[in-house]
Copies of this chain bind each other. A is one copy, B any other.
Amino acid sequence: MSINAENITHDSVAAGAAVPEATPEEAAALEVLYQDFESENLIPLWTQIADLMPMVPTPKAVPHVWRWDTLLPLAERSGDLVPVGRGGERRAIALANPGLGGKPYVTPTLWAAIQYLGGHETAPEHRHSQNAFRFVVEGEGVWTVVNGDPVRMSRGDFLLTPGWNFHGHHNETDQPMAWLDGLDIPFVHYTDTAFFEFGTERVTDESTPDISRSERLWANPGLRPLSGLQNTISSPIGAYRWEHTDRALTEQLRLEDEGHPATVSQGHAAVRFVNPTTGGDVMSTIRAQFHRLRAGASTDTVREVGSSVYQVFEGRGSIVINGETNVLEKGDLIVVPSWAAWSLHAETEFDLFQFGDHPIIERLNLNRSYTEGRATS
């Protein structure tokens, strides 16, 4: 693809081209034609093409930062004022991308929210076709019960609730807990594929095991139970524990130190959370990854089709997006729209959780990326 084609646009070419100097009679006839189009539910391409078919993606979504220091107090105030229960279902507060016209969408396809559950509260069970995950930047004490399997939620854990699994949450402590929810609500809404069903008012299993049944059966490296030889659409692992993620990242950087290939680029360790039955993404519509940069490390500047959200887990650094630097600290969230040029820079060791809509893009063969100073792909 010749990126420089951006220079030539519909507008530059089309200026006066589509409908050249018309006589007054022609102009009048054209106006009547456009009225007739409208009354027949028709719209001509030639007046729309510049917006509809741009030279490169022109997302309405914009880069934006939400600060954890702002989010958490607002969630706490919600905890005081808004009960959690049947109907509203969850005390979740969505990040609304300022470019998306007041919709509770962080990108056109993705939902991101801070969810807050007070001490001894329960969020009732339900299920829906939307895929969901939780990521815990701090705190503990809540169990999410997924299809009857109680899953402990603790700092650094990545937890799955794939589509059409019943789930509810309950807080076993006196302390509130807040975490990040990610879902494909906008995409499922857009494609008119949403189904929803209410479940029980309380969770179906109130026990609080340290490790879920899904992990006991599935989170053994390279070992597949013979009772589970059928591949599953979503990962059967309910919780990806921080202990394992941290160890994997630590080992990648150690291997790099020892001179072996292991990191994705110099000083940049990264893992993808995957479905062990296929080696692919955990859910059909959402990719989740974890990054660790050494203090001082930077990534290349990249453009890629698809949108992402990052949350800082630990450390301090920045993302430069389209030339603008955004300094980020623990808990801060930032959205990177499609085809924005971005790079990561670590001041201290810098740990970031990332999720994005790339499985949608890739499964439909719409993926494309561009690294500054390299050939496109």
14 contacts between A and B (CB under 8 A): A5-B197, A13-B87, A14-B87, A42-B93, A45-B88, A46-B92, A57-B195, A109-B191, A192-B305, A192-B307, A217-B262, A220-B221, A223-B244, A227-B270
Contacts of A219 in B (CB 8 A): 221-222
In whole angstroms, what is the CA distance A30 to B224 when docked? Answer: 44
Contacts of A240 in B (CB 8 A): 221-223
In the bound complex, do residue A196 and residue B54 qualify as a contact, i.e. CB atoms below 8 Å apart? yes
In the bound complex, do residue A216 and residue B254 qualify as a contact, i.e. CB atoms below 8 Å apart? yes
Q: Does A377 interact with chain B (Cβ within 8 Å)?
A: no
If A40-B74, A216-B254 touch, whether A223 touches B273 (CB-CB below 8 Å) is yes
- Chain B minimum-CB-distance residue to A15: B87
In whole angstroms, what is the CA distance A240 to B222 when docked? Answer: 7
Closest 7 CB pairs of A and B: A14-B87, A46-B88, A17-B87, A18-B88, A192-B338, A43-B104, A216-B251
Q: Does A373 interact with chain B (Cβ within 8 Å)?
A: no
Q: Does A20 interact with chain B (Cβ within 8 Å)?
A: yes
In the bound complex, do residue A96 and residue B42 qualify as a contact, i.e. CB atoms below 8 Å apart? yes
In the bound complex, do residue A94 and residue B42 qualify as a contact, i.e. CB atoms below 8 Å apart? yes
In the bound complex, do residue A74 and residue B42 qualify as a contact, i.e. CB atoms below 8 Å apart? yes
Q: Does A210 interact with chain B (Cβ within 8 Å)?
A: no
- Chain B minimum-CB-distance residue to A279: B277
Q: Does A59 interact with chain B (Cβ within 8 Å)?
A: yes
Contacts of A264 in B (CB 8 A): 225-227
CB distance from A309 to the nearest CB of B (A): 13
Q: Does A374 interact with chain B (Cβ within 8 Å)?
A: no
Contacts of A10 in B (CB 8 A): 87, 196
Interface pick from A136-144, A231-239, A322-330: A231-239
Interface pick from A75-83, A311-319, A343-351: A75-83
Which of B52, B247, B289 sits near A189, CB closer than 8 Å? B52
Contacts of A41 in B (CB 8 A): 64, 66, 95-98
In the bound complex, do residue A83 and residue B20 qualify as a contact, i.e. CB atoms below 8 Å apart? yes
Contacts of A339 in B (CB 8 A): 192
Given A108-B192, A275-B279, A360-B364: 14 more A-B contacts, CB < 8 Å: A14-B86, A33-B74, A41-B66, A49-B88, A52-B185, A57-B193, A191-B305, A193-B306, A217-B262, A220-B251, A221-B244, A222-B276, A226-B289, A276-B276
In whole angstroms, what is the CA distance A191 to B277 when docked? Answer: 28
In whole angstroms, what is the CA distance A352 to B219 when docked? Answer: 22
- Chain B minimum-CB-distance residue to A82: B19
If A213-B255, A220-B221, A223-B240 touch, whether A44 touches B82 (CB-CB below 8 Å) is yes
Which of B87, B198, B338 sits near A18, CB closer than 8 Å? B87
In whole angstroms, what is the CA distance A13 to B108 when docked? Answer: 29
Q: Most chain-B Cβ atoms within 10 A of its Cβ — which of A29, A58, A224?
A: A224
Which of B97, B223, B285 sits near A245, CB closer than 8 Å? B223
Contacts of A284 in B (CB 8 A): 363-366
In whole angstroms, what is the CA distance A40 to B72 when docked? Answer: 12
